[in-house]
Amino acid sequence: MKAVLVRVPGGPEVLSFTDQPLPEPRPGEVRVRIAAIGVNYADVMCRQAVHQSMRPPPIVPGCEAAGVVDACGAGVTRHCVGDRVGVYSPFGGAYAEALVVPENYALPLPAEMSFETAAAFTHVYLTAHEALNASVPLQPDSTVLVTAAAGGLGGAVLQLAAALGLRPIAAVGSPTKRHLLLERGLETVIDYGTSNLTDTVLEVTGGRGVDLAIETVGGALFDQAQHALAPLGRIVIAGAASGREPRPDLPALLAQSASCATLNLSVIFAQRPSHIHAAWNRLLELRAQGLLQPRIGHRFKLAAVSDAHRLLENRGSTDKILVIPPGGDSP
């Protein structure tokens, strides 16, 4: 099969389009023929060998895809050959024509959901769900600050927050992205490239701050987001795309009786599979009601995945980036 292999850590140029053996499922696993692949910043971190949950190269990267089950290992009960599924694979392997995952990591798709939609939905909407429901669920009309709000995960959080009756505050890194989100009907969009995020959030909330901040960039932006929390607020670390670690300011949190939580979706899949399946069903219900719909901003062929990584790292992308393998949905 065709696949993209990273032999050594490095830049986008180390993504090598090559032939690899077709994987065989072991007991409890399914093999999925991939029709569409979602690109996530975790893939960049995997390529660079800095992702704490993924093994270092050599590895076929990729943690999100959609396709059809074409083989089942012994003891599989959740799926049959021919099932259409969305796949989350914290083990990597999605940048290929097929991958193997434990059956709990393949989630059933509604008949009307396309593979492209599923590849743009599975990882980010489950992450958004967990970020918004960490510990105590928020009350309707609570304020939610979302950084990197023009990306795939940011868009998922914004849509889900609105569906839950929350008031989103979007934060982006350029005037172009701010204008795009304002055109889409977002009421409050902050460009943290030209203004201080803390000061602007406090200004638009009348000095109160936000009830929840979902932060995926890290570094200085995390510092500004945590200082924008309201009393009893919470900040969720859902990534560090800047490459700089978020560092919680405990005295500042204590002063507000605020809290900091972390989110690693792979741990939730491994430790609470029934919770994941319940969350998936809830997300599908909200989508059926027309409240959730991923936006696909860019499509690439699998052989050109290095271009997708360059776009993502240069902060030039908006919405979700998809990669299409040979024989999959055409770009």
The CATH number of whichever domain residue 147 belongs to comes to 3.40.50.720
Contact (Cβ atoms closer than 8 angstroms) between residue 157 and residue 181? no
Residue 201 is part of which domain span? 125-264
User: Does one domain contain both 211 and 257?
Assistant: yes
324, pLDDT greater than 50: yes
User: Does one domain contain both 147 and 247?
Assistant: yes
Residue closest to 200 by CA, chosen among 218, 225, 178, 182: 225
Q: pLDDT band at residue 244, thresholds of 50, 70 and 90? A: confident
Give this prediction's pTM. Answer: 0.93
User: Does one domain contain both 301 and 207?
Assistant: no
Q: Report if residue 287 sits inside a domain.
A: no
Q: Distance between CA atoms of 233 and 253, rounded to whole angstroms? A: 9
Mean pLDDT on 236-240: 89
- DSSP 8-state assignment for residue 264: -
Task: Give helix then strand counts, H and E, for the chain.
Answer: 11, 15
Contact (Cβ atoms closer than 8 angstroms) between residue 97 and residue 327? yes
Mean pLDDT on 251-263: 93
Give the domain-ending residue among 264, 285, 315.
264
Query: In the chain, how many domains are there?
Result: 2
Q: pLDDT band at residue 331, thresholds of 50, 70 and 90? A: very low
Q: What is the pLDDT of residue 135?
A: 56
330, pLDDT greater than 50: no
Q: Report if residue 284 sits inside a domain.
A: no
Match 């393998």 to its residue by tokens. Answer: 325
Summary mean pLDDT of the chain: 94
